Amino acid sequence: MAGSAAQRADAPAPALTIGALAAAAGVAISTVRFYEREGLVEPVERSSAGYRHFSVDTVRRVRFIRRGQELGFTLREVRDVLRLSDEPELITFSDVARQVGDKLAELEQRIIDLGRVRDALALLVETGPTHPRCPVVDAVV
């Protein structure tokens, strides 16, 4: 019995088909295919029938890519983060400091902009549509 537990511990993690990966990550199969074409994910193997098989770790990677995009990161920025995560020996302080500083400034501006939109929406909820001009339009422009 102890031998079977040891065998299971040494067994490779099960591979996921593209459909199982997409379902586990909460994205469409076409999204996984797009990420693969962009070089962001890659199958660990292909079956004899040509089906892609992905590692279970790819679920987290796909979730990061999708969430990064939702948070305003470009695919290039996502690719850079993943590359540095995959190959930390490539990290140089000067490059990372500049890129992080640029992204931080961009995010700070987005937070300010979103705060203005939030305040405009709160004003509409509070007072109703009694304004000569739409506060949301004014907040965005």
Q: Taking the mean position of all CA atoms in its chain, how far away is CA 73? A: 8
User: pLDDT digit string (tens) for 60-114?
Assistant: 999 999 999 998 899 999 998 898 888 888 777 777 788 888 889 999 999 999 9
Distances (CA, A) of 95 to 61, 82, 131, 133: 23, 15, 48, 45
Q: Report helix, strand or coil for 17.
A: strand
Radius of gyration (Cα) for the chain, nearest Å? 22
CA–CA distance, 107 with 99 (Å, rounded to integer): 12
pTM above 0.85, yes or no: no
Highest mean pLDDT among 7-21, 23-37, 111-125, 127-141: 23-37
pLDDT of 50 over the 80 cut: yes
Which residues are within 8 A (CB) of 18 and not within 5 positions of it... i.e. 6 or more apart? 29, 32, 33, 43, 51, 52, 54
